[in-house]
Amino acid sequence: MPHESAPNLLIRLDPASSVALQRQIYDGIRRAILQGIARPGMRLPSSRALATDLGISRTTTLLALEQLQAEGYLVSRAGSGSFVAHDLPDDLTRTPPEPLGFTPKAAHPPFSARGSLIAGTHPPSIRILGAPRAFRLGTPAVDLFPRKLWASLAVRRLRSLRPADLDYGDYSGFMPLRQAIADQVRTSRGTQCEAAQIFITAGSQRGFELLCSVLLDPGDLVWLEDPVYPGAVTALRHANAKIQPVPVDSEGLSLEAAVATGGDARLVFVTPSHQFPLGVHMSLPRRLALLRWASAHSAWIVEDDYDSEFRYRTHPIPCLHGLDTEGRVIYIGSFSKSVFPALRLGFLIVPADLVDKLAAARRVADIHPPKFEQTVLADFINEGHYDRHLRRMRAVYRERLDAMADALKRHCSGVLSLRSVHTGLHAIADVVGIDAEDLTSEALASGVEVIPLSAYSLGGARPPNALALGFASVPPAELAAGVERLAGAIDRVQSRRRKIL
């Protein structure tokens, strides 16, 4: 006769055993508690549910549970059931087993070489765990996001859920959201596109990964801005692409330098509205030259337009996609900066004939992003909240940027020199007289997050001795306090340097 098991506790009964069933249940639950499988405070199945699962009488399970209660392994709460006790009788004598995954002696096979390459792409320890702090990069003003409004839109959607809403959705994304995005980019980003060309992704990162896997074969050559956004590098390494770093000058990616490398790229990845991380925008002559080159060489251009919604003291710059007449540019947009990063929603604008292919290709990974979040975002945009939020945030970010710039002038002049900022949520500060990496380590040790530009280098050209400073995620007073701590870090690095010299 097969062994029966209780699904939650893995109790196995052997009906052929000479040990009574009641004892087997007692032993099984006690073992689960002592091995840390059933943790203190965990609710146990009721005697009735245990009896049904194990196919035995309720009296047997009841007696076993009562014995465990009497010995102090379980406590019963009236009306709620039995729970594993917090003070266990054998507690002092047992050492809880480490979960296997955390055992230093784990003897699993090694990570693959490709896995190690991918995992090693992101610069380590540049983010201190926990709430946003000065000068976190990539995080918008999550403190000012209209959470109550978002909650009310979500509750309204939840209340009106129909059975069909729980089924798989459109693989290309929720149509009303695609429509809302198409309307939005036509007016704000200066490009023509239909809702059918919009493909919703779980953030831009999933978009990069998907595009790399369908547009490139292993070994295909890709031109990449140097310095560069690490997310693009990870996706390209994942696709086994061959990366050619291309320097960035004051007009964006240097096409001349790229062509001089000799190889014919199959894809070029650019951030023309706001080069990441340097912050320059690609000039019109450079954009036109890049489009002409892509046309002559039958190459793709992937345009990452991640934070161009936020502009200060400058006119909007239409996106590269709007200049493309041949369907060579694929636009990647993200809601991580304009809404909030945990939403994990972004989109691609792709030639209409690619949408079905992408929809088929995404089935290898996520089928489609969660439908519910897409419906709430569609309402947020369609009811005018998105535009209102962006308008409000532009003013907030300008204020935060000014506060950071003022404080830097007061406390760090002579060492940190801020480049002018026209777009986005971060600034670049050139570092004079000390090493940006040394300063980063010292700043991190005092709880301030900064990133040296060398962290984004592909190793082609020597990166500027500079820091990237996010100014969006915390209020002006916190930014000013962060600058003072940064000034303290500068002092310590300078005095160490003086001692060495």
Ligand X SMILES: Cc1ncc(COP(=O)(O)O)c(C=O)c1O
Q: What are the residues binding ligand X (CB under 6 A)?
A: 138, 203-205, 229, 231, 271, 276, 304, 306, 334, 336, 341, 346
Instruction: Give me the amino acid identity at 94.
Output: R
Specify whether the CB–CB gap between 338 and 146 falls below 8 A.
no
Distance CA 341, CA 321 (A): 24
**Least separation, in Å, of the C-beta of 208 and ligand X?**
8
SS3 assignment, position 337: coil
**Least separation, in Å, of the C-beta of 451 and ligand X?**
11
**Least separation, in Å, of the C-beta of 235 and ligand X?**
10
Distance CA 139, CA 122 (A): 16
Specify whether the CB–CB gap between 427 and 450 falls below 8 A.
no
**Least separation, in Å, of the C-beta of 159 and ligand X?**
29
**Least separation, in Å, of the C-beta of 428 and ligand X?**
13
Distance of CA 417 to the CA centre of its chain: 30
Query: Closer CB to ligand X, residue 229 or residue 331?
Result: 229
Query: Closer CB to ligand X, residue 28 or residue 272?
Result: 272
**Least separation, in Å, of the C-beta of 446 and ligand X?**
24
Query: Closer CB to ligand X, residue 424 or residue 460?
Result: 424
**Least separation, in Å, of the C-beta of 205 and ligand X?**
3
Query: Closer CB to ligand X, residue 44 or residue 468?
Result: 468
Query: Closer CB to ligand X, residue 73 or residue 199?
Result: 199
Query: Closer CB to ligand X, residue 254 or residue 334?
Result: 334
CA distances (Å), origin 195, targets 46, 51, 174: 52, 55, 10
SS3 assignment, position 294: helix
Query: Closer CB to ligand X, residue 138 or residue 252?
Result: 138
Cβ count within 10 A of residue 108? 7
**Least separation, in Å, of the C-beta of 272 and ligand X?**
11
Q: What angle do CA 175, 177, 388 make, to 5 degrees?
A: 160
Q: Is the dihedral of CA 235, 240, 245, 246 positive or negative?
A: negative
- The position carrying tokens 């689960």 is 32
Best CA proximity match to 153, nearest among 342, 345, 375: 375
Query: Closer CB to ligand X, residue 172 or residue 204?
Result: 204
- Where would I find the beta strands (DSSP E) of 206-357? 221-226, 242-249, 252-253, 267-270, 300-304, 329-334, 346-349
Distance CA 306, CA 70 (A): 61
Query: Closer CB to ligand X, residue 306 or residue 386?
Result: 306
Distance CA 179, CA 291 (A): 27
Query: Backbone phi, then psi, for 472, in 5-degree steps?
Result: -95, -25
Token couple for 192: 């023509």
Query: Closer CB to ligand X, residue 34 or residue 185?
Result: 185
Query: Closer CB to ligand X, residue 28 or residue 369?
Result: 369
Query: Closer CB to ligand X, residue 34 or residue 302?
Result: 302
**Least separation, in Å, of the C-beta of 468 and ligand X?**
10
SS3 assignment, position 331: strand
Specify whether the CB–CB gap between 498 and 492 falls below 8 A.
no
Name 19's Cβ contacts closer than 8 Å, sequence gap at least 6.
27
Distance CA 423, CA 472 (A): 12
What value does the CA radius of gyration of the chain take, rounded to a whole number of Å?
A: 29
**Least separation, in Å, of the C-beta of 406 and ligand X?**
25
SS3 assignment, position 284: helix
Token couple for 326: 């041949």
**Least separation, in Å, of the C-beta of 342 and ligand X?**
9
Instruction: Give me the amino acid identity at 75.
Output: V
Query: Closer CB to ligand X, residue 33 or residue 317?
Result: 317
**Least separation, in Å, of the C-beta of 425 and ligand X?**
9
Instruction: Give me the amino acid identity at 490.
Output: I
Name 413's Cβ contacts closer than 8 Å, sequence gap at least 6.
none
Cβ count within 10 A of residue 392? 13
**Least separation, in Å, of the C-beta of 231 and ligand X?**
6
Token couple for 144: 């000012």
